[in-house]
Structure 1
Amino acid sequence: MTIPADLKYLKSHEWIRVEGDTATVGITDFAQDQLGDVVYVELPEVGRSVDVGEAVAVVESVKTASDIYAPASGTITEVNDALSGSPELINEAPYERGWLFRIRFEALGDVMDAAEYEQVAQ
């Protein structure tokens, strides 16, 4: 299981990469492994305002469907359109090509560093 040290994490198994006032969000390697083969992703609308903890996307696998929660309050600025035709990117590269959306944030929620998340993802 990979847990990059440069990212922040949520207990609900999302990761967040902060760059200035924008953050890229996806699900962790642990989460994609638990879900199994991802077959569909429902992404939020660009321009949508979200609050910390709000369900903003859905990832469906052969096993189950899982809500994806906003790690920050702000506005969705971009979604990963590649996932609509290739949802398996989440399984193949959850931290690179399998990201879900970007958000210009006003307030960041309660996040953990890699060492803290490693304790949760066991």
Structure 2
Amino acid sequence: MNHMQLMKAFYDMRQRHFRDLKVQWDIEWQGSYWLFQNFRNWSRTKGSGAVALSEVCHLADRAGATIVLWSSVERLHVYYESFGFKRESDRPDRHGVMRFRREPDLASPPHRLNAAVRWPRHHLRSHRLE
């Protein structure tokens, strides 16, 4: 899949996710990686954001693409890590933002949310993702 095909696939997926799942996000090419940003779940349905992020990760894996995201919401750090994102440093930057990177995992099957992760009770409530 070349760069233009991947860009079209991401934008088609983004439109479908907003239409069908009520999950909003954006992705932008940064020269050597894709910046995943503005991730919001408007659906009030638990799991819609996980479905969307799982599909984005699967498409990136198939294309061999790296995804980067930033988050200042500490409770979401474990959530992003469960999708294979790795922290780029041990501590947030001076603005309280943690940067995550997800390298393509070409050997793995399509990503599924790690069922072994034990979520604290407040994670079980429906909430908007940043």
Q: Give the TM-score taking structure 2 as reference length.
A: 0.30
Question: Higher helix fraction: Structure 1 or Structure 2?
Answer: 2
- Determine which structure has greater relative contact order: mean sequence separation of CA pairs < 8 Å that are 6+ residues apart, divided by chain length: 1
Larger Rg: 2
Give the TM-score of the pair, scaled to structure 1.
Answer: 0.31
Q: Which structure has the highest strand share of the two?
A: 1
